[in-house]
Amino acid sequence: MNIFPAGLPLSPSPWLGRLAVPLALTTWLLAGPAAAGAEGLSARERISLDADWRFFKEPSPAPDGDLLSYAQVKPWVLATGMELAQGAAAAAKVRPAGNPGGGPVAYAENGFDDSQWRLLNLPHDWGIEGPFKQEYPGDTGKLPWWGSAWYRKHLAVPNTDQGKKIYLDVDGAMSYATVWLNGQCVGGWPYGYASWRVDLTPFLHYNADNVLAIRLDNPARSSRWYPGGGIYRNVWLVKTAPIHVAHWGSYVTTPVVTDQSATVKIQAQVDNDSDLDAKLVVNEEIFELKDNGDRGKSVASLANVALPVAAHQSAPASGELTVKRPKLWDINKPQRYVAVTTVLQAAQMMDQYETPFGIRTIEFTATNGFLLNGKRVPIQGVCDHHDLGALGSAVNTRALERQVEILKEMGCNAIRTSHNPPTPELLDICDRLGLVVMDEAFDCWQAGKNQNDYHLLYADWHDDDLRMLVRRDRNHPCVILWSSGNEVPDQGRPIGITLAKEHAALIHSEDPTRPVTAAVSDYNAAFSGFQNTFDAFGWNYKPGNYAQFRERNPALPLFGSETASCISSRGVYFFPVGNNKAGGRGDFQMSSYDLYAPGWATPPDTEFTGQDKNPFVAGEFVWTGFDYLGEPTPYNADVSNLLNFFDPAEKAKAQQELDALGKIPCPSRSSYFGIIDLAGFPKDRYYIYQARWRPDFPMAHILPHWTWPDRVGQVTPVHVYTSGDSAELFLNGKSLGRKTKGQFEYRLRWDDVVYQPGTLKVVAYKNGRQWATDVMKTTGPAAKLTLAADRAKITADGRDLSYVTVTVADHDGLLVPRSMNHIKFSVSGPGEIVATDNGDATSFEPFQAPEHNAFNGLALVIVRAKTDQPGTIKLTAESDGLAPETITIKSSR
């Protein structure tokens, strides 16, 4: 298909290049902008560009992963990112003359009539709109996320902006983005998880209509999970004076930290994009940063540092300040500061740039794990992919914040951004809420895992993509590890060592203060020399080999970069409870006894044992915190695949079962790995982690549920997760015995319980004292719906969300465990239903529908407040035969 349909005549604007300056600029510099007096405003503005885009998805044939069009735009796209490239690479970043395709590109031309295109706001993910189809690959969620599409936006730029630099900052677009402004190709970026900037200045029309056109080309067979498709992160218009702090141009480190004082080093790069040499003055000031992002009190300042910067050059401005009695950033008390860099010329403010940061020390040790501010903090982490369940990959800050809150409640203190750079908002949230982050770059290097994955980009882009990651994220106190990759196939090749060394050197050239690591799955790569290219070694799924690692690598810090991969469906239990590695059956669910995992993986308990036997291990990142779209192991393709997940001892039996099933194609569209399901409802596993990770929080959790009319008189094992050390179980008041956790035991098991309806109660003890209880009751039939909103008050900004949990309950309000009732939702007032879900990995129900089946008693409705319309939102849930319920959510400015 020709991506460049013939169109209107070429716009006459010539390419001016970074070094060329519009005439008007000189005047502006001499006269100064009217508003920028000595105490005037910073010339910098950062404006959300998310609203009102026109969208057109090109009709796409079968997902064949055609990248032809990238070949056409590549020379223009490669010229992007000059501020990141070094030396010869930077010099090579020159935009070719003319435009890709040789002629005008119709969809990029100003005169093109886009009124028939769909109007929408970013962030946007076209894939999540579905429909799910059985024939689409399960590994990427059975959703149509591939293909090419255009986004267009009209922009008015006033005359008063003449002389300014005007940039488009894209936090992330999936993928192979190319940007045109007023018909001229400006640049782009292929890696869908990168953030990037293009300079719009040379092509702008002042006091006139401007048209931004962005084309994405998302190749099929480019991902092992659901990537989404579209401009799925936020987009900004940034305006600065020609003299300004560079893109991601400030770097704050704290080389000396004591109780009494901290040395804060601020290194800012100032660009002079004007025609005149400039004698500048730089001021630095540090303020405490409040939770709401406002500046608190000023704690240090440094004024009047002279900085001459020649025309069209950059210069570093560096200053060291002392903060007395610093309030450290810690996971329990994440105090932050903000460094404010002010650049002045002849007493006029040219730029003011804010860099939030934290004062803390980090250290990975070989003997004592990870130290934060000198104290050991066990890494209690999870890996997560970027999708937000029913919202797809379209970024929403509240959706992310909710995820982090749910994780924190479990005792999680760390997130690994598997396997790519996260959206910037996630790091802001972790800074604010006190979680540490392993910030990851890639899922492969030179050798790929998929026909069209990053290995195609590696040669041209890995340098810029790594620098982008580090420069963008290096001021976040939450970031404690740079990961250059996950299970990269190169780990087992001789070239792997060379590449890993090169990445580490590059990362350290941008940030020497944090260790470089990777998530390594290859056993041999821990002994081949590959391990020595890292400052801390991340090993995936090797709890049984930690001692061996230490013996042969005595000085290398070690942590479990990916652990467990236990699989379960919320509220599902298979009997008899076996110890086979995976289980699995024809309804495509997984048992929640938390004993099942694929061949390479383990139940949580096995990993805990590995760590407790080897306390030098810094901790773990569990695969995964939340279920995600795609990779529905063990139901990836058809059930014959299941055999690979059974214990060899169980294989013969499993083979018989599978033969009986036939070759049924699996309908699953999302993972079973999550501790928390796709809708955000905790599975039982949540509580085995909470028991371990919050030892001082009194809790006990019984599984399974206790409504089994079909199991009266049958053995129905009961497991209890508790932060206590022992517990007594009672069925209908009768004690079934008290059990104590042995060494390396993390759950209490009553394996011989014979099911009788009634009340199962556990009383947990810690150090001989009663500690916590839990009760599981046999329920009556489903009688009503109950609704509970995670937030009853939200902001009327068109983005804020309330997550409403819908429970199918009996007369007493108890969740009816296996209910799957179909529920309809309606909303009145200034809100809308943006998505519904139930956490069922096999459901093909559209996420956008105002109706959903419950899955094992629960469903979710995500309600969004409308922009600037404060008021009362009412959500009603109805289902045949059940009493309906309405809930009220207040939306205010």
Task: Point out the residues that are catalytic.
Answer: 487, 562
Shortest separation between residue 658's beta carbon and ligand GAL, angstroms: 21
Strand 882-892 vs strand 793-795: parallel, antiparallel, or unpaired? parallel
3-state secondary structure 830-845: CEEEEEEECCCCCCCC
Quick one: CA dihedral 457, 458, 464, 465, positive or negative?
positive
- By CB under 6 A, what part of segment 663-702 binds ligand GAL? 673
Shortest separation between residue 107's beta carbon and ligand GAL, angstroms: 36
- Is 607 a binding residue for ligand GAL by CB under 6 A? The answer is no
Strand 769-777 vs strand 759-766: parallel, antiparallel, or unpaired? antiparallel
Closest alpha carbon to 417 in 432, 436, 434, 396: 436
- By CB under 6 A, what part of segment 368-407 binds ligand GAL? none
Which token pair is 882? 């059940």
Closest CB to ligand GAL among 434 and 674? 674
Shortest separation between residue 224's beta carbon and ligand GAL, angstroms: 6
- By CB under 6 A, what part of segment 232-291 binds ligand GAL? none
Residue 665's DSSP bridge partners are 638
Q: Which SS3 state, helix, strand or coil, does residue 69 take?
A: helix
Total residues found in the chain within this entry: 893
Which token pair is 94? 């020159």
Closest CB to ligand GAL among 565 and 723? 565
Contact 246, 216 (CB under 8 A): no
Site pattern 563..582 for ligand GAL (x: CB under 6 A): --x-----------------
Q: Which SS3 state, helix, strand or coil, does residue 693 take?
A: helix
Closest CB to ligand GAL among 540 and 836? 540
Q: Which SS3 state, helix, strand or coil, does residue 765 take?
A: strand
3-state secondary structure 645-666: HCCHHHHHHHHHHHHHHCCCEC
Shortest separation between residue 631's beta carbon and ligand GAL, angstroms: 6
| Choice from 601, 699, 763, 776 touching ligand GAL (CB under 6 A) | 601
Closest CB to ligand GAL among 186 and 595? 595
Shortest separation between residue 815's beta carbon and ligand GAL, angstroms: 29
Site pattern 433..472 for ligand GAL (x: CB under 6 A): ----------------------------------------
Shortest separation between residue 226's beta carbon and ligand GAL, angstroms: 12
Shortest separation between residue 839's beta carbon and ligand GAL, angstroms: 19
Q: How many residues bind ligand GAL (CB under 6 A)?
A: 10
Closest CB to ligand GAL among 454 and 623? 623
Tokens 């230490």 sit on residue: 550
Q: One-letter amino acid identity for 87? A: G
Residue 195's DSSP bridge partners are none
- By CB under 6 A, what part of segment 33-52 binds ligand GAL? none
C-alpha 22, offset from chain centre: 40
Q: One-letter amino acid identity for 227? A: P
Shortest separation between residue 624's beta carbon and ligand GAL, angstroms: 8
- Report the Cα–Cα distance between both ends of the chain, in Å, rounded: 47
Shortest separation between residue 136's beta carbon and ligand GAL, angstroms: 19
Closest CB to ligand GAL among 232 and 673? 673
Contact 723, 701 (CB under 8 A): no
B/e letters for 654-675, b = 16+ CB within 10 Å, e = fewer, are: beebbeeeeeeebbbbbbbbbb
With CB atoms as reference, the residue minimizing the distance to ligand GAL is: 565
Q: Given phi > 0 = left and psi -120 to 50 = alpha, else beta, which region is 183? A: left
Shortest separation between residue 600's beta carbon and ligand GAL, angstroms: 6
What is the rounded CA–CA span in Å between residue 804 and residue 489? 42
Closest CB to ligand GAL among 463 and 522? 522
* Cα Rg, the chain, nearest whole Å: 28
3-state secondary structure 429-472: HHHHHCCEEEEECCCCCCCCCCCCCHHHCHHHHHHHHHHHHHHH
Closest CB to ligand GAL among 268 and 688? 688
Which token pair is 327? 């309030």
Shortest separation between residue 408's beta carbon and ligand GAL, angstroms: 23
| Choice from 521, 533, 802, 821 touching ligand GAL (CB under 6 A) | 521
Shortest separation between residue 419's beta carbon and ligand GAL, angstroms: 6
Closest CB to ligand GAL among 356 and 674? 674
| Choice from 66, 83, 139, 487 touching ligand GAL (CB under 6 A) | 487
C-alpha 44, offset from chain centre: 28
Tokens 């099942």 sit on residue: 596
Closest CB to ligand GAL among 602 and 716? 602
Residue 832's DSSP bridge partners are 864
Residue 867: how many other CB atoms lie within 10 Å: 15
| Choice from 167, 534, 623, 645 touching ligand GAL (CB under 6 A) | 623
What is the rounded CA–CA span in Å between residue 345 and residue 244? 11
Closest CB to ligand GAL among 114 and 487? 487
Strand 619-623 vs strand 379-384: parallel, antiparallel, or unpaired? parallel
Closest CB to ligand GAL among 239 and 416? 416
Q: Give the neighbor-by-neighbor strand order of the sheet with 243-257.
A: 243-257, 261-272, 313-324
Which token pair is 119? 């109007």
- By CB under 6 A, what part of segment 628-647 binds ligand GAL? 631
| Choice from 178, 486, 778, 821 touching ligand GAL (CB under 6 A) | 486
Q: For residue 607, what is the enclosing H or E element?
A: helix 604-613
| Choice from 425, 465, 562, 627 touching ligand GAL (CB under 6 A) | 562
- By CB under 6 A, what part of segment 531-550 binds ligand GAL? 540
Q: One-letter amino acid identity for 854? A: A
Contacts to ligand GAL by CB under 6 A: 486-487, 521, 540, 562, 565, 601, 623, 631, 673
